[in-house]
Amino acid sequence: VQPDGTDGNCVTFVLHDEDHTLGNSLRYMVMKNPDVEFCGYCITHPSESKINFRIQTRGALPAVEPFRKGLNDLMGVCQHVLNTFERSMKEYRAQR
């Protein structure tokens, strides 16, 4: 991840080796933060595997804070889904 920009509350993060899977999910998680004014991403080119992920916050909140929170929240959601799936698989196998 490489932040690009001089203003701390409006930053474009360049995420290498990523695509819409992370971009759209992370955008959703970041936009849940009421201090985020804008969040969006774009794929630079179909032949490149990187995205530009832009966050603009209200006030003095640095954009890196909702970015970190969004990543942590997304990891928590993914862990919950994985735990639920594994628990369901154990229950299914126990019934057979």
17-35 tens-digit pLDDT: 999 999 999 999 999 999 9
Place of tokens 């959703």: 28
CATH topology for 8-93 is: Gyrase A; domain 2 (3.30.1360)
Please tell me the predicted confidence (pLDDT) of residue 71.
97
Please tell me the predicted confidence (pLDDT) of residue 7.
72
How far is CA 72 from its chain centroid? 8
DSSP 8-state assignment for residue 64: H
Structure tokens at 16: 């290498």
Domain ranges of the chain: 8-93
Buried b (16+ CB within 10 A) or exposed e, 22-46: bbeebbebbbebeebbebebeeeee
Is the pLDDT at 1 greater than 70? The verdict is no
Is the pLDDT at 2 greater than 70? The verdict is no
Is the pLDDT at 95 greater than 70? The verdict is yes
